[in-house]
Structure 1
């Protein structure tokens, strides 16, 4: 699948775009902001600049057209991603010790080092916040395992065994 956006990796062929409810809301808000606010402003600037004569040296016109293409590309990307989105609420697994989408998992490697990651959607995972995409090698190794299990993940240095120390999910919000 070619999503015309190099900033996000492609989804595996034939899969849904799994997202948490928060991730879906964030992508949808970005799409609506582009459609309702940013794109109309840029169209207005380009329209105004086009009326000013020579377009070949008109910075407002040239920049505006470039920005409009970027916005349209992002709108197309977001629309396609949201069309195939499958919202998966991790709170429904609260209390489970098995690893599914949305789990926060703490593991320990052979050197005794512990690390915690949260498995999120490909369009919402932020590695700086300790989040990994569900299609990443570490997430694929962890998925469906249980607290206390050992899994093997392939790393650039070769296979590494990890012991799953803790599995947690967010608590459901009660109204």
Structure 2
């Protein structure tokens, strides 16, 4: 084969694009602020890498900046709906819900967007199985979760500070 048709390699592998899931990109106000902060950080990192001539860092920052820019463009900021007077709060996107299992153990979850999910701190993606089991429920409802049955004991629809 002629060398004219072989791409020269500089020894660097092309970075794969970061995948974007098929779910709607619902975000809390806090989540939107986190995305915008990440974009600012990556723009700075790209400028520094470009000035330094660090091709690997430029590739990483460029790829991540493309991802977060797409996430910002598709973001749908949503606040939890406030219940009408006399109506009970329902579990919805952005709400914090506290459940109590049969042993009296309580756990709290805040239903958030995919990019802001942190299960260890109780922030779960709105499309996760636990979140799906909770959405639309009210205080006093019993739900079946992966760890067993639990009762919803509190719902807070106050948005998190940004």
Q: Does the pair score TM above 0.5?
A: yes
Gaps of 5+ in 2: 1-15
Q: Find 1:89's aligned residue among 47, 54, 79.
A: 79
Equivalence for 1:164 = 152
- Runs of 4 or more off by more than 3 Å in structure 1? none
Aligned length: 143
Output the CA distance in 2 between the equivalents of 1:154 and 1:85: 29
Kindly state the Cα deviation for residue 171 of structure 1 after the two structures are TM-superposed.
Answer: 6.3
Output the CA distance in 2 between the equivalents of 1:171 and 1:66: 39
- 8 Å Cα contact 1:24-1:82 kept in structure 2: yes
Output the CA distance in 2 between the equivalents of 1:94 and 1:172: 17
Gaps of 5+ in 1: 47-63
1:124 aligns with 2:116: yes
Q: Deviations over 1:2-25 (max 9, x none)?
A: x9337xxx53x2x32010112112
Equivalence for 1:60 = none
1:38 aligns with 2:27: no
- TM-score, structure 2 as length reference: 0.78
| Root mean square deviation of aligned Cα | 2.3
* CA separation of 1:44 and 1:94: change in aligned 2, threshold 3 A: farther
